[in-house]
Chain A
Amino acid sequence: MIRIAAVGDVHVDKDVLGRYRPALEELPDRADALLVAGDLTRHGTAEEARCFATEFGGLGVPVVVVLGNHDHQSDRQGEVAAVLTGAGITVLEGAATVLELHGHRLGIAGVKGFGGGFAGACASNFGEREMKDFVGTTEAAAASLAAALRSVECDALVALTHYSPVPETLVGEPLEIYAFLGSYQLGQAIDSAPAALALHGHAHHGSERGRTPGGVPVRNVAHPVIKQGYNVYQLLSGGGDAQLAGAAWIEVFGFGRSGTRGVMYTLLWILAVILVVSGIVALFRRQLLWGIVLIIVGLLVGPGGVSLFT
């Protein structure tokens, strides 16, 4: 089971410092990571980025973000990303990261994305140079998201964007501006990989829930939509836990792990079993102290529980 917290469009500046912090202090008790779906700042300045890092950094859980259109307003998005990265926050733009959480690998692929519209009302890569640049930007963003999504091997894959990949989560916004709020190409990119969840922001008056044409759940986590400090989503709960239960022994004995780590786990388990069995045999032979020592050493050697090697 993995729990991820998510919010977008927090637009942090000095006047917001401290507003989110009480809820964020509780976050490690509620979730394993925090994802922020862009518009971290108001004008995209380094100073505002530092405010964001102060408010959302140092939580004790990984923080992964994409930038939004507000973070580009001052044309200093590189500087903003550098400030955030320096504060230990992972910034994704056509890239992916993997978090190891409770023995699961959570893959997150992110891109800001762009507008362009959706089926029946979308812009085309045709005509004036400005129009081709507009649609070309969306196409490039979607292509980089698709590549990032397909680049990771993980147990649960999440797509993180600022712009929306589907029109369903825009319901509430004026229809006339849908083309500036997202693009169907982002949805196609998400459907090109086995994503478990897609998160976006940007549409303050939109709706929370939708699905891509391929069936991937989409959540609009823009702050004015969710109306709380962050939402929490649970992944790998039903099927994941069942699979875990079924695969428990495989995992415990290291066969589910790869490379030298798996071999080491297997050897440690064999050694632990030998030590504990020897200890029990010693107890039957009335070698009380020796038996207890062997059992304790065996428990300490075996992976899991009180192991020295966990």
Chain B
Amino acid sequence: MTNRLDLEAEIQRLLTEHDRISELGITVHRRDDLVMLGGEVESAQRRDEICRQIAVHFPDVEIICDIGVTRAQAPSEVEEIS
């Protein structure tokens, strides 16, 4: 496990600025010797690419990739605005 204090910031910037990721909505939390990634993306390919890129750029970091794919079903209810 790296001791770099800026690890979360580096991961966050990679997630945003890497052209194959471009995700601003991923959370990065450090828990003991783990880094946990959370949030949701639009496709399973995007989630897998995030996990792959993190593994490539931070090979010495143990990552848990707990990222979901946002559901896109039709709504069943209407909200009345008043």
Contact = CB atoms under 8 A, between A and B. Distances in A.
Interface in A16-71: 16, 19-20, 22-23, 26-27, 30, 42-43, 70
B71 A227 contact: yes
A235 interface: yes
| Most chain A C-beta atoms within 10 Å of own C-beta, residue among B24, B25, B75 | B75
Interface in B39-76: 39-40, 42-43, 45-46, 70-75
Given A15-B45, A30-B74, A231-B75, A204 B25 contact: yes
Contacts, number: 83
A33 to B, nearest CB: 14
Interface residues of A, number: 38
Interface string A211-250: 0000001010001100111111111011100000000000
Given A10-B42, A15-B45, A229 B79 contact: no
A197 B27 CA distance: 30
A205 B79 contact: no
B37 to A, nearest CB: 13
B35 to A, nearest CB: 17
Interface in A108-139: none
Nearest to B74: A23
Contacts of A70: 22
Contacts of B39: 204-205, 224
Contacts of B82: 237-239
Interface string A1-22: 0010000011110011001101
A73 interface: yes
Given A228-B72, A232-B79, A234-B81, 14 more contacts: A11-B42, A16-B42, A19-B42, A19-B43, A23-B74, A23-B75, A30-B74, A43-B22, A196-B81, A223-B42, A223-B70, A228-B75, A234-B80, A237-B81
